[in-house]
Structure 1
Amino acid sequence: MTSLAVTEIDPALARTLQHFAQLDADTPTPQLSYALRRRRLAELQAELIRTPLPGIVRKNHFVAAHGREICVRSYQKHGATAQQTLVWLHGGGWMVGDLNTHDDLCEHLAQFTGHVVLSVHYRRTPENRFPAPLDDVMVVLQWLSDMRGLLPFAADRVLLGGDSAGAHLALAAAVRQIQHPTDAARIAGLLLLYPPLQPDQDNDSMRRFATGFGLTPAAMQCYWQELGRPEGQAAQWLTPGCCSAAIVHLPPTLLMTAGHDILRDEAEAFAHEAQALGAPLQLLRAPAMVHGFARMLAASPAARQQVELACLAWAELIGRQRPLSK
């Protein structure tokens, strides 16, 4: 951790990054591949700061897909009548992260929004390259439509969101649904937290926050490489921000970047382009935050405040567009 990072970011996040760096140094895993080591470290990081929220009911569900099952986990405030269903896609470079690493975030999202939050454990790289994770998202959306009347959170219109790689997948799913409508649950709103949208970026934030702020350009390059470069129709969904004809028709979208994140500039450039096209998108920048701050809510009150602010602004944006009902 550099002194620059410590002085410019939220002190609680700075301490958390230092703890994560020490955890990394104290966890030798010479027998593990890069992907397996990053997954193990993400699990240990989540355990280190995990602080369950009281009054949140969690339950696992299993979605049948071709030759596999997709595990999803629901989060709901105890005794509350859910407003909507928010499908959440976890971050981790499409390679790392799972339901457990994002328990804190999903519990807070359920608390902040009043929605049932449904976290999806999509297939990850390098074992499953793009568009496999996106295909899993589409399967879950179809399942939510098919299960109407059988599960209380199943609906024909849902909200969709994600952090980091999950935000990329959420946007890709929205673009894919606009381009190829089906009878799956329709995406009625997007909540995107610091998404990666373009490989091989060279911009100010990529250079300024390259070291000492968590995510590095080298790690991001590895994640993009392992995601793969698909051909044909799937190639356009790899960089969904470039699909201008579909972006115009996005549902109400709230995009939040982190002020000290290598991905900040590419996400904000997309937001400005989408707004210029006329998409109902609102952009917020979270000051003093680093990439991944949304999964550090148990460690940082400032990070919690920023996620709550995003949820409130998103709800207002959706309300201005049209009433949302099941």
Structure 2
Amino acid sequence: MPAVLDPDAAAVFKAFQEAGRPPYETVGHEEARRLYLAGRIVSNPEPPELESTTPLAIPAPHGPIPARIYTPKNPRRTDGLAPVLVFFHGGGWVIGDLESHDVVCRKLADEGRLIVISVDYRLAPEHKFPAAVDDSIAATQWIADNAKQLGIDAARLMVGGDSAGGNLAAVVAISARDGNGPAIAGQVLIYPATDFAMTHPSHSEPETSLLLTHSVIKWFRDHYLNGAADVHDWRASPARATTLVGLPPAYVLTAGADPLRDEGDEYAERLKQAGVAVTYRHFPGQFHGFFTMGKLLQQANVAASEIGAWLKAQG
């Protein structure tokens, strides 16, 4: 499936190339984290004004999980309680944090008129699989258990994330369905990683190896997983879950010039076949990571508005 970038996406890709930023896999994970955060400064759109942002420490067996609560100016409160999106940031389970996705969370809170809680799960290689999964499940459960104190309607709790965060949101939804978490009202999967086998055609097409290259995906994988056996664990590869029946409604977004395109497409189709209500949105002329680049790419803002409308429709 040949991918042709939209003109603005092509211009952004050219600018990244000309900037000469070294590939993540050549600098080590700590420098990669710094570079990733620095890139957000030039690509994030202006954040909307919110009612408040509040730091949160979520209790967990290994110690508190840092999080941040985003409350919009006009949340859709019922009996004083607002819906919530528990958000997991992208970054290959190795990079990214609350700051890298701060503007994204602000936009989703504003567009969806709901509370967003961003979860700063533990990163690899310091904390390998399934640490990020454990944190994501624990955080979601704690938020549900403490919903009223947080001003949240537990019946309207949704999960979401981009890339690695989309992977974690999908895993949390499966885990919750299987009795290891609260009821989930919806899942937002933004170009999610769903299968670590990495055998879909888009993983080997040259035109998809742009900002998220095939080599850096392997670098992320090797930092995150303990070994080859983890590839087959559905908590790493949610597409390998025995069944997707009974999962909550899903919004699935994919990009044309993205190594993860085909596995995201396939996951959306499998959800549909399992009887799950799916809203599928494909951006053929965009690359992986475009969603956070609203200052440079108008399609990112279109996507944020569409996701906001979808979140409103879930309750």
Aligned match of 1:58? 53
Do the aligned partners of 2:48 and 2:107 also contact (CA within 8 Å) in 1? no
Q: 1:153 to 1:13 in 2, by over 3 A?
A: farther
Shift of the 253–88 alpha-carbon distance from structure 1 to 2, 3 Å rule, reads same
Q: Which amino acid aligns with 1:191?
A: V
* Compared CA separation, residues 69 and 242, structure 1 to 2 (3 A): same
SS across alignment from 2:59: strand
Shift in Å, 1:193: 0.5
d(CA) in 2 for partners of 1:275 and 1:81? 28
Q: Which of these residues, 246, 255, 259, is aligned with residue 258 of structure 1? A: 255
Match of 1:228 in 2: 225
User: How far 1:143 moved relative to its partner?
Assistant: 1.5
User: Where does 1:294-309 land on structure 2 (aligned, <5 Å)?
Assistant: 294-309=291-306
Distance 2:83 2:153 in 1: 9
Structure 2 unaligned residues grouped into runs of 5+? none
Task: Please tell me whether the aligned partners of residues 202 and 260 of structure 2 are also in contact (alpha carbons under 8 angstroms).
Answer: yes
Q: Does 1:74 align with 2:69?
A: yes
2:201 pairs, out of 181, 189, 204, with 204
Letter in 1 for 2:143: L
1:321 matched to which residue of 2?
A: none
8 A contact 1:289–1:303 mirrored in 2: no
Distance change in 2, residues 1:148/1:309 (3 Å): closer
Q: Structure 2-normalised TM-score?
A: 0.87
Determine if contact 2:97/2:120 at 8 Å carries over to the other structure: yes
Q: What is the alpha-carbon distance in structure 2 between the residues aligned to residue 80 and residue 145 of structure 1?
A: 18
| TM, length-normalised to structure 1 | 0.85
SS in 1 for 2:233: helix
Q: Which residue of 2 aligns with 1:98?
A: 97
For 1:9, the equivalent position in structure 2 comes to 5
Identity of matched residues, %: 28
- Where do 1:282-321 residues align within 5 Å? 282-313=279-310, 315-316=312-313, 318=314
Q: How much does 1:80 deviate?
A: 4.1
How much has 1:222 moved relative to structure 2? 1.5
2:266 to 269, 291, 313: 269
Alignment-derived partner of residue 125 in structure 1:
124
Equivalent pair of 1:194/1:257 in contact (CA under 8 Å):
yes
What amino acid is the match of 1:164?
A: S
1: CA distance, partners of 2:10 / 2:55:
33
Instruction: Give the drift of 1:91.
Output: 0.4
Once the 2 structures are TM-superposed, how far is the Cα of residue 285 of structure 1 from its aligned partner? 0.7
